[in-house]
Structure 1
Amino acid sequence: MARHQTDRPHAAVRGPAPVIVAVAAIAGTATIPFTTATAAQAAQAARAGTGTATYDCAIFSTHFDYEPTITVTAPADAAVGDQVPFEAEFTPMPNKAPLPVDKWTTTGQISLSGAATGEAGMSAPEKTGPVAPGTPITIGKLTGRFTAGNAGDVRLAPGKLVVSAVASGATAAITCALKGSAPTLATVKVAGATGPAATVTPSSIQQGAAITIGGTGWQSGNVSLSLCDANGAACKDGDLTDAAASADATGMLTGHATIADQAGIGARTLKVTQGAVSKDVALTVTEKSTPPTGGCAGKPADRCGEQKVSVTVNAGALTMSRQPGEVTLTPVTLDGTARTATGDLKQVQVVDARGGTSGWSLTGTITDFASSSGLKIPAGNLSWTPKCAAAAGSSVVTTGSAGPLDTTTASALCGAADGTGAVVGGSFTADAGLNLKVPPVTGAGQYAAVLTLTLS
């Protein structure tokens, strides 16, 4: 979007006032108290609890409140070994972004206690906007699964929530952390194992590595294997290679498979299927490690190790500022000939910290020079000679052409072209020499004009 700066000079051509262009970025943390489900709800086939929530959210260092109503729903009953589905529905989140939010994804966790402990992940499909500033952001339903490993009651309570949002090309995470403890909103009664059971070893596996499948209670014959997402859906045939499994006459299941190099990493589900019977087993796929390089190449793993180091670079803003004060041109004395008044634009600094490939332009227009008596010197009598420079490490800056200014048609002062597959940005300075032609027939007095610079 364009940003403008103007000044109304008196007795001279005056420079622009500072303007800052803000780029939206979103981030946050959160906290929650809840109410629990009623007895009538608990008696239903799917147990659900609905309650209000209070989150302490932050956009970087700026905090705001998020008070959703949350409903957690899960089956009333399950058996040991089951992959138990659940969902958590959140009412919309306040939108503190000054620019429209283009798209966002939401992930989170459900805290487990009782017969199962730890955290179970949940997620929602990507949503698209744009969502106008000040308009709530829809969170909706998140779904997930947990493994019922032991008999007994498993209690579900809301936990961490993360919204990854994109606004005007800038991406940031809204991370919402639970404040204090959250009451149980759903309970699953897990009974002893019934029907066939399946296991996967190891439960965390690298891309390209092999897994072993086991289990009991199956019918004699072949069993099919497929790798799916964390919720047991979106199964991809190509994610498993060399897959084979079968049960013997006693119902003992044995099998093996290799995780494909291109299989998606993160929480996944191995689906074991025989006819109408299907069992889901949770596992985690991690990124395939590369052979040692550099100083560890050819050395024993127990004597030399490597560590991957990563960093997150958040987008900044496109901003413009200038030196304080006004531009005063040199005075002239009428002598019956055209005279010239000269001066220099107050230096302008442009900072492009967006971290993207979009360029920018800084242009100017000017009004006619007017005196207190109503006399004028045309705007086109003022010409400028732009001077632009890029700070060390910045991308290339382009200097505008020398020439007259206009009241409506913008003249280029400085700019940077879009990057062709490359990031552009950095810090830049813009100056210009000013030259005003004073006609021989000009009324005596002080003249002033307004020079407007626009950054876009």
Structure 2
Amino acid sequence: MRRSRTALRGAAAAITAAGAVAIPVAAGTAYAGTGQIPYQCQIFGTRFDYNATVTVTAPAAAKVGDEVSVDVDFSDLPGVAPLPVQKWTTSGSVTVSGAQSGTLPIKAPERTGPVPAYGPLPIGKVSGRLTLSAPGDVGLAPAGLSILADAGAQATIACTPVTTPAPLATIKVEEGGQDGPDASVEPPTVVQGGAFTVSGTGWRPGAADLTLCDANGAACEPDDLTGVTASADTAGRLTASGSIAESAAVGARTLIIAQGAVTKRLALTVTEKVTPPDGGCGDKPASECGEQKINLTVNGGPLTMSRQPGEVDLTPVTLNGTEQNATGSLKDVEVVDARGGTTGWSLTGTLTDFGSAAGTKIPAGNLSWTPRCTAGPGAGTVTPGSAGALSTTTAATLCRAPDGAGKITGGTFTADAGLDLKIPPTTGAGRYTAILTLTLS
């Protein structure tokens, strides 16, 4: 996820964190803790309470260098949408504390409904992967949650804990002999129906699982692999083999090796199985006719954004005792999706209040934008977000490219927006500044 901060100058509420927790319980090699976390959520101008039952699951123990899975399971969100919700995507974060600290992004694949109007919205499991960097106890606590819902128009539901939650799960991290388990796949490019082998070191003795996913490690398809065997011996040497299903999607893919909560991702390219060329030579002798097969490998790139330099200056106003408007336009933002996959993206924004040197403010909600989105030559579909007011807490969509539904997405896109700021008649004179944060995910 990438962020860009833009200063808005012209004539620009915070929510604190939350949480009540229950004591976690260890179960086998997994550590699952459940608690009641009170959230305050907002959709557009409506706020509502969400008393979530949250379970955080992670390994009870691991080593430095291990990449572990962290699953956060949320109870249903109260029904607030006045229209049936057709599909929704959930993302959020987990606060990491103790031997290492930071924020772990979590995300769930897009879910589809419909969910009836005012019906509870299922959230379920939202997951992320954490690389352990230091020995000691590492605590995991649920933090913010964001649901991008589509009910004919898109709306973001942003939820923030009312108080800072305590960790619901703890990983006991020991010193590792190396930076986590190692693995490699041969060959790195496999034709549909072709076989591959995996070898590695540093694994725990026992069975392992293999899954083939898209280039980003999401949209995993269990049926894309056949005849899989995978296990590590008592010395930690991993041996695995399998075949790519003839129906597997071609292109850049990710082979995920999982052993409990420890995972390793390997890049793997799947090529299309084609009938060997018989061309026009037929039964002609080689001295009279020859054929050559030409191959091409296309490697996926990143999802990035950049913006036109400079600040946004809104039109100046002179107070006259009535509400006035200052207008302007965002600096152009360019999004480049070179991943070569089927996953879409969204570009969203939040805004601080406008403040002046004298301490007077203009609320962020006084600024409205009208998003504009343009797809470059040959690029996929892109749609603008809804026109409306910005917020300090609820991310508004500037532009969005939907998932490809089996088709490759990508290309270069340009996003901007017209801006309109309402200046109350009671505004103090001076120069005001706000910060717009744009997030690409």
TM-score range normalised by the length of the shorter chain: 0.3 to 0.5
TM-score (norm 2): 0.42
TM-score (norm 1): 0.41
Bigger-Rg structure (1/2): 1
